[in-house]
Structure 1
Amino acid sequence: MLAFLGAIICIIASIAPGSPGAVPGAGDEEAALYGTAGGAGAVQGAGAVHGAEGDRSHPTAAGKASATSHLGQAPALGSAPDLGTTRRFLCLPLAQDCPSPSVREDLLLLRSTAAHLHQMVIQQEEQILHDQETIRELTGKLSRCESGQELGSFQNHPEEYVWDLGRSSLEDGTGESEQTVLQLENTIHSLKNSIENLEIQELEALLLSKLSELEKERSSLHNKGDRQRHRLEEQLEALHQRIEKLEKETAVYKLQEGYKISFPVRTNYMYARMKRSLPELYTLTICLWVKSKGTVGIGTPFSYAVPGQANEMVLLEWGKNPIELLINDKVTRLPLEVKGGEWHHVCITWTTRDGVWEVYQDGKQRGSGDNLAPWHPIKPGGTLVFGQEQDVAGGRYDATQAFVGEMAEFNIWDRILSATEIQNIANCSSSILGNVISWDGSSIDLYGGATKWPFQRCSESKDLGEN
Structure 2
Amino acid sequence: MFSILYGFLCFCLLGCGPLASGQPDDGKRYICRAIPLSGDASCPVTLLPELNAGSQEEELRNTVMQLRETILQQKENISKQQGTINELTTKLSLCASATDDKKYDKGSWGKEKQNTMGDVPRDPNDSIDSLGKTMQGLKDRLENLEQQQTRANISGAAFPTELRNLLQRRLGELEKQLLKKVSNLEEEKTMLSNATAAYRLKTESTLNALVERISELEKGGGDFKSPEQFKLSLPQRTNYLYGRFTKTLPEMYAFTLCMWIKSSASPGIGTPFSYGVPGQANEIVLIEWGNNPIELLINDKVAQLPLEVRDGRWHHICISWTTRDGQWEAYQDGEKLGTGDSLAAWHPIKPGGVIILGQEQDVMGGRFDAGQAFVGELSQVNIWDRILKPVEVQSMANCSSYIPGNVISWLASNVEVFGRGAFKRPLEMCQERLPNA
TM-score, with structure 1 as normaliser? 0.48
Which of 202, 208, 218 matches 1:236? 208
- Distance in 1 of aligned mates of 2:241 and 2:389: 34
Matched, 1:405 2:376: yes
**Aligned position for 1:274:** 245
Q: What secondary structure does 1:300 align onto? A: strand
In the TM superposition, residue 293 of structure 1 has moved relative to its aligned partner by: 2.9
**Aligned position for 2:352:** 381
Which of 421, 424, 428 matches 2:395? 424
Which of 414, 419, 422 matches 1:443? 414
**Aligned position for 1:92:** none
**C-alpha distance after superposition, 1:117-171 (max 9, x if no partner):** xxxxxxxxxxxxxxxxxxxxxxxxxxxxxxxxxxxxxxxxxxxxxxxxxxxxxxx
**Aligned position for 1:39:** none
- Distance in 2 of aligned mates of 1:346 and 1:330: 20
Q: What secondary structure does 1:422 align onto? A: helix
In the TM superposition, residue 247 of structure 1 has moved relative to its aligned partner by: 9.0
Count of aligned positions: 239
Which of 422, 428, 432 matches 1:456? 428
Q: Pick closer, same or farther for the CA change 1:323–1:414 going to 2, 3 Å.
A: same
**C-alpha distance after superposition, 1:322-375 (max 9, x if no partner):** 110000000000011000211100000100000000000000011000000000
Which of 267, 281, 285 matches 1:310? 281
**Aligned position for 2:225:** 253
**Aligned position for 1:362:** 333
Q: Pick closer, same or farther for the CA change 1:233–1:281 going to 2, 3 Å.
A: closer
> Which residue type is aligned with residue 232 of structure 2?
I
In the TM superposition, residue 457 of structure 1 has moved relative to its aligned partner by: 4.8
In the TM superposition, residue 456 of structure 1 has moved relative to its aligned partner by: 2.9
In the TM superposition, residue 231 of structure 1 has moved relative to its aligned partner by: 11
Kept in 2: contact 1:251–1:441 (CA 8 A): no
Q: Pick closer, same or farther for the CA change 1:369–1:297 going to 2, 3 Å.
A: same
- Distance in 2 of aligned mates of 1:374 and 1:386: 25
- Distance in 2 of aligned mates of 1:300 and 1:249: 23
Q: How does 1:88-99 map to 2 (within 5 A)?
A: none
**Aligned position for 1:353:** 324
Q: Pick closer, same or farther for the CA change 1:249–1:314 going to 2, 3 Å.
A: closer
**C-alpha distance after superposition, 1:91-118 (max 9, x if no partner):** xxxxxxxxxxxxxxxxxxxxxxxxxxxx
**5+ long unaligned stretches in structure 2:** 1-192
- Distance in 2 of aligned mates of 1:406 and 1:241: 19
Kept in 2: contact 1:359–1:368 (CA 8 A): yes
Matched, 1:264 2:231: no
- Distance in 1 of aligned mates of 2:368 and 2:248: 19
Which of 321, 342, 346 matches 1:371? 342
In the TM superposition, residue 259 of structure 1 has moved relative to its aligned partner by: 0.1
> Which residue type is aligned with residue 406 of structure 2?
N
- Distance in 2 of aligned mates of 1:268 and 1:425: 31
- Distance in 1 of aligned mates of 2:389 and 2:353: 27
**Aligned position for 1:326:** 297
Matched, 1:296 2:267: yes
Q: Pick closer, same or farther for the CA change 1:265–1:237 going to 2, 3 Å.
A: same
Q: Over alpha carbons, which structure has the higher Rg?
A: 1
- Distance in 2 of aligned mates of 1:231 and 1:415: 48
In the TM superposition, residue 458 of structure 1 has moved relative to its aligned partner by: 1.2
Q: Pick closer, same or farther for the CA change 1:378–1:400 going to 2, 3 Å.
A: same
Matched, 1:336 2:307: yes
> Which residue type is aligned with residue 339 of structure 1?
R
Q: Identify the structure with the greater helix proportion.
A: 1
Kept in 1: contact 2:242–2:357 (CA 8 A): yes
> Which residue type is aligned with residue 241 of structure 1?
R
Kept in 2: contact 1:285–1:348 (CA 8 A): yes
Kept in 1: contact 2:216–2:424 (CA 8 A): no
Q: How does 1:129-140 map to 2 (within 5 A)?
A: none
